[in-house]
Amino acid sequence: MEKKTIGILGGMGPLATADLYRKIVEHTRAAGDNGHVRVFIDSNCAIPDRTAAILRGGEDPVPEMLSALRNLEKCGADCVIMPCNTAHFFLPRLREATDTPILSMPEITAARCAERYPGRRACLLATRGTLEAGVYDAALRGAGVDFLLPGETARDELMRLIYEVVKASRPLAPEKENWSALLEGLRSRGADYFILGCTELPILADTLLCPGPFVDPTLELAKAAIRFCGYETTD
């Protein structure tokens, strides 16, 4: 099978973009440098905030997203992936503008949840934009995944952790107690496991090491892209 290439439409945020690329490298079965996927990255940090656009009529992020997409097309990317869950609200508009396949993080994640935790209830941890726009809802229901959404207090805490801690490059260690309390509160509402539905959250979870279990959409997207390109994953 002819090997294909990946284009990462990144910058949303830059650390999440780096995390996705790292996971592609770590989860590709390769004996050396030449066994890895060729990856093109446009980390376009000028893309306007997606949650602000969805909830508050903020600047439309699609023109800058299309700018990055065009760069990836010029590089010859055979598929495109986006390390931003909220950005998938705009996926239909991007797909209309290109013939290059753009893989869907919510659909890939929903399939993994159904496979790994059948009959158990997920809790979707995400930005207000993702939650209130229902970015994951259709994919989860379509895969038969039972799920609950955080309440208002939990949503406020998620937004603080995402925007004021991870995106702001603040130290993560002091947040361990807050992160643990958030998870315990949602577990008491019936959550059996957690979908880390914002690409900043796997960074938090990987660092603070509180009990889950977790499904990491960034990791699932990385593995799907590796397989799309004709390579084997390590698991």
Tokens encoding 34: 């030449």
Longest Cα–Cα distance of the chain, Å, equals 50
Q: Is 84 a catalytic residue?
A: yes
Beta strands per DSSP E along the chain:
6-10, 39-43, 79-81, 121-125, 146-148, 193-196, 214-215
What spatial distance separates the first Cα and last Cα of the chain, rounded to whole Å? 20
Residue with tokens 């800058």, as numbered in its chain: 64
How far is Cα 113 from Cα 120, in angstroms, rounded to an integer?
9
Instruction: Please name the residues in contact with 149: beta carbons below 8 A apart, sequence gap of 6 or more.
Output: 123, 124, 131
Exactly one of 45, 75, 79, 84 is catalytic; name it. 84
Exactly one of 45, 75, 79, 198 is catalytic; name it. 198
Instruction: Please name the residues in contact with 73: beta carbons below 8 A apart, sequence gap of 6 or more.
Output: 7, 98, 100
Instruction: Please name the residues in contact with 33: beta carbons below 8 A apart, sequence gap of 6 or more.
Output: none
Enzyme catalytic residues: 84, 198
